[in-house]
Amino acid sequence: MKPAGTMEVKASGRTARAGLKRPVGALESVREFFKEVWSYTAGKFGVIMLCVLIVTSIYALLVIPPEFVSLWEAAPYWEENPQLVPPAWVCSLGVPCAPHFAGTKTQPDVAYEVMGKYYYNYTFTYDLGAEVFPQDLLVKLVGVKVPIVGNKPVQPTITVTIQRPDGLAIKLGSIVVSANATGGQDLVKVGTKDSPLKVDIDVRSLTLSIADYYNLRIPAEIVGADPALQGLAEAVVLGNIEDITRRHSQDVIFGKPRFSVKVRDQSVYLSKIISELDAILRSLGNSTNPKQITLKSRLTNIINILVELNNSKTSLAEFVAKLKTVKTELENAWKEAFIELLLPSEQLSKLSDLAQFVDKYVTRLSTTGEYFAVSLDMQPLPGRYLITVSAVYDAREVGVDISGLTSPPIDQVRVVIKGTAYGLVGTDDLGRDLAQLLLYGFPIALGIGAFSAFVTTIIGLLLGVISGYYGGVIDEVIQRTADIIGNIPWLPVLIMMAYIAQQLFAGYPPAVKATAILMTIMGVLILTGWGGLAITVRAMTLSIKEEPYVEAALALGASKWRIIVKHILPQVGIYAVASLVSGVPGAILTEAGLSVLGIRHGWPTWGAVLSRARDLGRYDVWWWILPPGILLSITSLTFIALGLAIEKIVEPRLRTL
């Protein structure tokens, strides 16, 4: 038979437990705990969203490229994506879009041979349905085969042409693929996936094709019959087209020109010459000197020519011819006035300057497009485009059949036409797929939040229990340390430590640098986050250790650690769980805030996406700003909802302590 004291202790323990509505220690299993959380609406929302976040994070970890941390900020990695375009789904809302196209072929559509020349054609179709220009056109070649016959390479010529909806066929560019013949090789491949061959746009060919097809010329009535000036006019038009082609080649490839020419107003220059001549005439006054009268008559005739030019529409050839006459007359008048001393030195100098001015004016008109006001812009040309990549091998010199070596001639032909909408979330200024960046940010965000909050909670829980149970010097040291930590403004310290880590690990590989900076940030968060929990747990421990069943356990010989493990930790643990859940969004938001402030570790996070937008001041690009902000909000709301549900479980017990 057991001692009465023992029975009484157990009874008092049951009585103590029976007096509580739902003590935290009564949750007998994890299943019961989750059932309790699930009973609340906030708990249901939190659990469902947490499962979604975890599943998404696992998927992201499975699909993220191994070297993504060193590639995601490199523009070449994203070169096939359009830059700064909205999500593709905006097109279904009525926004005019040029579709994004990326096609790859490994076999030619057409292959034939004519008298020792081998032809292979790869054809791609692109449909432009809206009056919007695509952003760019890229042609990449991987594994172009160069046969070696008798130590002599048969070098293929790769040509890219486009057939437009208006019937115009344009040669966009071509390259000759060369390779060095080495002993024993009968075939060399040029171009790899990491470094493919690219066919650049031939600006001159594109310019001439558009000018010839649409007959972009300055009319003869504006230019005149002078062959030299006609050549100048043609050069002016081609220069305008070429300027557009160099800046926006896609506008010329996928557009049709809108062209007009007018004569530029020349009255400013003519009025200046007339005004100066009038001043010289006035300086002669009413002189009766026959030679001065002759000079006045000569200058008056010049003015009449200039007035006629100013008031009439003439061709450039006629305009220049009359200006040359004016220049000759001015030079003759100056010579006469100089020899006969017909003008004061000041007016004589003006007359000389006018002659030089007219000479320079004639030179400008004869060598530049100053006389023409050319208006040229491109309008989108909707319809079907056929892009053909052709490879031609000329094997006539080697005199053997090379079809066995060149079938197919290219391992991979890739044509990319960058659209004006892309992906689920759009792209940023580097062409980075924001959907990918946001997806890969899930595990990083949860990892930062969960790890920081978990370690902080464990430290705060253990130190709080030890402080409350042992008391004395241990309690004093822990509590004063918590007070000091709680009163230090840690944000400047965090920024400083993260900046030092950035400089310290700048020369390390990207993955090592990113991990080191991230661990520094989490270390500071952990160091500064345990104080509040330790103070609260200490207060709970002080109350629990005075409970009768704790005193009874001590009387029966239970050790202090057994008391802590069996009686205290189970009851404060549920509060620690609530603190852990509430601490996760704080760590995530802190990391995001540091990224926005410019303290970046190198991993693709939601804060880093926002940081790039902030650096460029692109707050107007909604698809760049809203998605990461929404994900940060949803993640925070998930843990806040879980915290509210757990709080409803914890609160009744807290009121009974």
- Looking at the domain that runs over 429-638, which CATH code has it been given? 1.10.3720.10
Same fold, 267-370 and 429-638: no
The whole-number pLDDT of residue 98 equals: 95
Task: Give me Rg for the CA atoms of the chain.
Answer: 42
CB under 8 Å to 361, separation ≥6 — which residues? 269, 323
The whole-number pLDDT of residue 514 equals: 85
pLDDT tens digit sequence for 194-210: 899 999 999 999 999 99
The answer to whether 129 and 385 have CB atoms below 8 angstroms apart is no
pLDDT tens digit sequence for 407-433: 889 999 999 999 999 999 999 999 999
Residues of the chain with pLDDT under 70: 1-30, 181-184, 651-657
H or E element in which residue 187 lies: strand 187-190
CA-based nearest residue to 511, from 78, 63, 71? 71
The answer to whether 190 and 146 have CB atoms below 8 angstroms apart is yes
The whole-number pLDDT of residue 183 equals: 62
What residues does each domain of the chain span? 98-262+377-420, 267-370, 429-638
What does pTM read for this prediction? 0.81
The whole-number pLDDT of residue 337 equals: 84
DSSP state of 564: I
Q: How many residues does the chain have?
A: 657
CA-based nearest residue to 351, from 295, 312, 297, 422? 295
DSSP state of 427: B
Neighbours of 96 (CB within 10 A): 14
The whole-number pLDDT of residue 652 equals: 59
Spatial distance between the Cα atoms of 530 and 479, rounded to a whole number of angstroms: 11
The answer to whether 270 and 306 have CB atoms below 8 angstroms apart is yes
Burial 222-234 (b: 16+ CB within 10 A, else e): bbbebeebbebbe
The answer to whether 153 and 146 have CB atoms below 8 angstroms apart is yes
Distances (CA, A) of 607 to 438, 495, 519, 589: 10, 15, 16, 8
Distances (CA, A) of 367 to 222, 231, 233, 372: 16, 10, 10, 12
The whole-number pLDDT of residue 2 equals: 40
Spatial distance between the Cα atoms of 502 and 223, rounded to a whole number of angstroms: 64
Q: Which tokens is 26 given?
A: 């009564």
Coil vs helix vs strand at 175? strand
Of 1.10.1740, 1.10.1760, 1.20.1440, 1.10.10, the CATH number of 267-370 is: 1.20.1440
Distances (CA, A) of 401 to 110, 183, 375: 18, 20, 54
The answer to whether 550 and 12 have CB atoms below 8 angstroms apart is no
Spatial distance between the Cα atoms of 441 and 609, rounded to a whole number of angstroms: 9
The whole-number pLDDT of residue 185 equals: 73
